Structures are given as C-alpha cells and as structure tokens.
Amino acid sequence: MAGAHGSQERGGGGAGGGERLDVAVSVLALLADRTRLGLMERLGRGEADVTTLTEATGAARTSVSQHLAKLRLAGLVVTRKEGRRVVYALGHGHLRRLVDEALNVADHQIGALPPHE
C-alpha cells in the first residue's frame, strides 16, 4: 500500500489521486468490521498473540485468525515469531491514529460531545 509521503499529491485529483483514494477505501473497508477494528484497537496498545487478541475481542479463535490473515495480507499488521508463538503488531503508526480517531468520532456521537478541531 502506497504511503501519503514523498512525491504523492495530497488531494484526490491528479495522476496518483485515484489510486491513492482506492487504497484508502480498501483500508477503510477492512476496518469496517467490528472484529477487525477491535483487533486493530488492541494492537494499537502493543504487540499481541492470537490468544490475547481472542480474549480482547471476545470473538472465536478461528474468526480472529481469519481476520488477522486478511489484515496481514493487506499489510495492516505484521508478524514475528517468538518461539512457537506468532506475535502480531500494527504495520505502522498511521493505523493506530486512524483507529483512535474513528473511536474518538464514536465517542462524540455516543456522548453527544461538541465538535472540535
């Protein structure tokens, strides 16, 4: 997935704008699932294995594993081996901030909080 840094334009127009928007839509679509968003929120607090992530989300272990595979294939999470355990982490800090902001918007809507910058 292409980043938003370097020579890429910031706006939606221009030569690279369409691809950039397409990738952003793909990322948001992957996050538009309660279990995957919960996994990303938990990983935003630090690395975790499948057992920890299963407990954090309350989802079935097989479901968590399938969701993690999708997130890994999309490059949103990375893995490393720790003995026989596979430990998951966010692919980069932008994802933690994206998830945090989505949850902040939810907090505002739930708590009828006023908008702010």
Burial 30-55 (b: 16+ CB within 10 A, else e): bbeeebbbbbbbbbbeeebebebbbe
Report which of residues 74 and 116 the model is more confident about: 74
Each residue's pLDDT tens digit, 42-73: 999 999 999 999 999 999 999 999 999 999 99
pLDDT for the residue numbered 49: 97
- Bridge partners (DSSP) listed for residue 89: 78
- Per-residue pLDDT tens digits for 98-117: 999 999 999 888 987 777 77
Q: Which is nearest to 53 in space by CA: 62, 43, 86?
A: 43
